[in-house]
Amino acid sequence: MDAAEKHGLSLNWTPQDRALRERVRSFLAQHLPADWDAIARHGPGSREQTEFSMRFCPELAQAGLLVPHWPEAYGGVSSSPWEQLILGEEMWAAGEPRGPQYMNVNWIGPTLMRFGSEAQKQMHLPAIAQGKVVWCQGFSEPSAGSDLAALRTQAMADGDRYIVNGSKVWTSYAGLADYCFLLARTGSGKAGISILLVPMDTPGIVVRPIPSLIGMGDIHEVFFQDVVVPQSCQLGEQGQAWSIITYALNNERVGIARYAYSLRVLTQMVEQLQREGRFDDPIVQTRAGQARAACEAARMLVYRVVDLRSRQALPSGEASQARVAVIAADHAVADFATEFLPDTLCGQEFAIHLAHHERAIAAGIASGAAEIQLNLVAHQYLQLPREARL
């Protein structure tokens, strides 16, 4: 029986799948503290959650649950894409205690495996597999948000090194990151963008936090002034960034099983309304059903992408389609909270509701703006003519 039959619309999880899910749940029950929701309330880029992740992820790695989907040569057991999905769903349902390191295991590590030199693999992959490092991604700029082709940060070749000047904005986790996955211009056009793996303690890098509603320490400005980066830090070939990023983002956009988090929050809100005797209203029930349907639609579309990967088929528009559905699910649950339980979004009594609401604000921007995803769906999935796209 192949993956499509095992994991098709019938969703008949194998005994191995169910055992893994129970194992992850048991681990979380044993290792998450009683005040975990209050810690998660600060946001994945906060000092509180980042410091927690630096304790939690090594324990997860010791249990074989941080990078089991990686090849054995890099610390994993080559588990299937479905097992990777199960792990992600359970982590996100719990509020993502891996914090900023979910990014490391889902796309930075696999991208380094595919495009990195042997020296880069040896330098970076063990620390990621052990849960001992934090990365940030230097993509967006003040004049180039989701339009990466318009970025201006320059990396000028100077012998066996680059001199980097420019700035990045909305950079998640930069304040506590050890390394930056940096996009910089080494030529003109799309073919003139390269990727540098830059230590964040390099002289000339200045990080400034951006106060926001989406969590403390989550986003920053990063400035590069005459930053010296050895050419050995270049990932792949010069000008290869576009193909590398396409590969990386296809992993990132589905690696975040946020629908599991949204569904947990929605379930808690419905239970709260039931306790208060307010769930008998047909309008409330209808809105709850619509939000639940959005979560299930996101889950099914993500499963479609995972199924393609499990059969070694390359997803194209499907990854963006799933990403749009995940955004819609986030917003549907956040809107339900705003409409029927607005009081739970104030104070600390319902920390998980407030944390979800804040993260949903950024859902349509992080990992590529929703408008960009819709354009990709129009082009790659619906094959619409350019004049019909957003």
Assess if residue 235 is contained within a domain: yes
SS3 assignment, position 268: helix
Distance CA 295, CA 331 (A): 10
Assess if residue 248 is contained within a domain: no
Q: Are residues 111 and 149 in the same domain?
A: no
Dihedral sign, CA of 213, 367, 364, 7?
A: negative
Distance CA 276, CA 284 (A): 13
Q: Are residues 327 and 206 in the same domain?
A: no
User: Where residue 43 falls among pLDDT bands split at 50, 70, 90?
Assistant: confident
CATH number, domain with residue 89: 1.10.540.10
Assess if residue 246 is contained within a domain: no
Look at strands 135-138 and 179-185 and give their pairing.
Answer: parallel
CATH number, domain with residue 140: 2.40.110.10
Please compute Rg for the chain using Cα positions. 21
Distance CA 21, CA 26 (A): 9
Residues present in the chain in total: 390
Assess if residue 172 is contained within a domain: yes
Give whole-number Cα distances, 32 to 28, 46, 56, 193, 334, in Å.
6, 17, 8, 41, 25
User: Where residue 287 falls among pLDDT bands split at 50, 70, 90?
Assistant: very high
User: Where residue 205 falls among pLDDT bands split at 50, 70, 90?
Assistant: very high
Q: Say if residue 122's pLDDT is above 60.
A: yes
User: Where residue 2 falls among pLDDT bands split at 50, 70, 90?
Assistant: very low
Instruction: Look at the chain and report how many structural domains it folds into.
Output: 3
Question: pTM value?
Answer: 0.86
State the chain's mean pLDDT as an integer: 87
Distance CA 49, CA 172 (A): 13
Distance CA 364, CA 324 (A): 8
Q: Are the C-beta atoms of 100 and 50 separated by less than 8 Å?
A: yes
Show the domain range for 359: 257-388
Distance CA 365, CA 239 (A): 25
Q: Are residues 193 and 161 in the same domain?
A: yes
Q: Are residues 186 and 74 in the same domain?
A: no
